[in-house]
Amino acid sequence: MFIRILIFCTLLFPLNILSAQSNCLFKNPLCFYNSDVLSYLQVLHKHQQYEKMTPFFYGPLPQKIGQKTLIIKLAEQDFGYSLRRVGIKEESEKHWSLTYQRTILGTQENFKIQCTLINDSCRIFLDESLWKILFR
């Protein structure tokens, strides 16, 4: 009897994980391939797909410098530090404040970003001050 229960649980467990992951993909606009927006952008940066990063930024800096200059600036930046999302505050139906924690040279620090749902995609508000925070 114990072996039957063990086999049943073993077969059921992966289905629960798959279900939770698929729920994340469609339930919340802050989820990107079962991750979060900045982690997704880090993957794009790691694979040097800077042109795919630019649509996820909006605000005064992208408007001021344009897409081509933004791509060049993103390519020059170090964006490989360890980070994780530690908090979400919903400010309105389509606006969130996200708190991240990053570790650089053994030092942990928190920072916040503002996200907005634009055309069914989560976008990060980017200005000069956030640029200095994200890309140190």
Instruction: Report the CATH number that the domain containing residue 66 is assigned in CATH.
Output: 3.10.450
The bridge status of strand 107-118 relative to strand 95-104 is: antiparallel
Residues 113-136 have pLDDT tens digits of 999 988 888 899 999 999 999 987
- If one counts the domains in the chain, the total is 1
- pTM here is 0.74
CA-to-CA dists, residue 111 to 7, 23, 28, 124, angstroms = 45, 27, 21, 13
Confidence of residue 35 (pLDDT cuts 50, 70, 90): confident
Residues 6+ apart with CB under 8 A from 78: 135, 136
As a whole number of angstroms, the distance between CA 117 and CA 26 comes to 14
Residues 46-81 have pLDDT tens digits of 999 999 999 999 999 999 999 999 999 999 998 888
